[in-house]
Every structure is written in structure tokens, then in C-alpha cells.
Amino acid sequence: MTGRGRPGPAGAAAGRVAAGRVSHGVPRLLPMDTRKAAQRWADVWQRGWREHDAAAITALYAEGAFWQQDPFREPEAGYLTRVFTEEESCECQFDKPIVDGDQAAVRWSARTRLANGESENLAGVSLLRFNSSGLVVEHHDFSVFG
């Protein structure tokens, strides 16, 4: 796998993640509806990535959530801060989540323009598990770059 690693989706924003763990507080979705939680995740990620809004994305994750951005690397603390600094802009699309129990799979694609003038085409799937409050507790990304 090449590239900078993506979402991942699967780290978190502004150094708020240590060893793949996210820390912060957010409003809860009660009672938890996985379909709504997963669609909220996709919608916020789509807007947040375009706008480089790390705080909005980070708020989707429970305290201590695990996020592995690349299946062959250790989770990266400060991931969003790093990639948003490297990017000038992003056009991305997140598909309708596929849901089973407290888990969801979301396919996504993006074209980013990097600060150095280069561009990347990315595509991937994020596998998510939600807690009873509708926040992500586990996030694994599988992506390709071109």
C-alpha cells in the first residue's frame, strides 16, 4: 500500500489520539440506532474532510476509541492534523452505510489536491463499531491510492 493513509478515515485530530485512541466528550444519540449513527458518521466525515474540520470528525468517536488508518501500520496519533496540513482541498463521497447489529461498513472515495501541488485519488472502506450512545468505538480503514 502506498500514499499517506486515509480516513481513517481510520489517530484523531489535533493530537487528541494516542496510539489510535480518541479522547473527548460529545452529545449522545439515544437510543442508539446503528443506521442513523453510521449515516451521521458518513455525513460528518464527508463535510468534515472537505472543510478540514478535525473537531467535527473527532466528535464522532467515543473516549478511547480505536482507529487504525492502515491495516499494515500502527494507528497514528494526530493523523487528521497531519493530513489536513498536507492537503489543500478535497472532494469526497461517502456511500450509504451497510449495517449489521452495532457495526457498519462505509465505502468512500476522494480526490485530494496536496499543498505541494500533487493530487491523490483514494478509495476505501471503513469498518465501524458503535457504542450504545452511537459513537464509534472501533474503526478500521482499508484503502487504495492512485
Collect all residues with Cβ–Cβ distance below 8 Å to 103 and sequence separation of at least 6: 34, 127, 128, 129, 130
Say what the pLDDT of residue 20 is: 46
Look at residue 10 and tell me whether its pLDDT is greater than 80.
no
Please write the tens of the pLDDT for every residue from 90-99. 999 999 999 9
Q: If you average pLDDT over residues 56-68, what whole number do you get?
A: 97
Q: Which residue bears the cell 492537503?
A: 87
Cβ-contact 22, 65 below 8 angstroms: yes
Domain coordinates in residue numbering, the chain: 13-145
Please write the tens of the pLDDT for every residue from 16-54. 333 344 444 445 444 689 999 999 999 999 999 999 999
- 2: exposed, middle or buried (Cβ count in 10 Å: 0-12, 13-18, 19+): exposed
Which segment of 60-64, 71-75, 128-132 scores lowest on mean pLDDT?
71-75
Please tell me the pTM assigned to this model. 0.80
Q: If you average pLDDT over residues 7-21, what whole number do you get?
A: 38
CATH number corresponding to 13-145 = 3.10.450.50
Please write the tens of the pLDDT for every residue from 81-116. 999 999 999 999 999 999 999 999 999 999 999 999
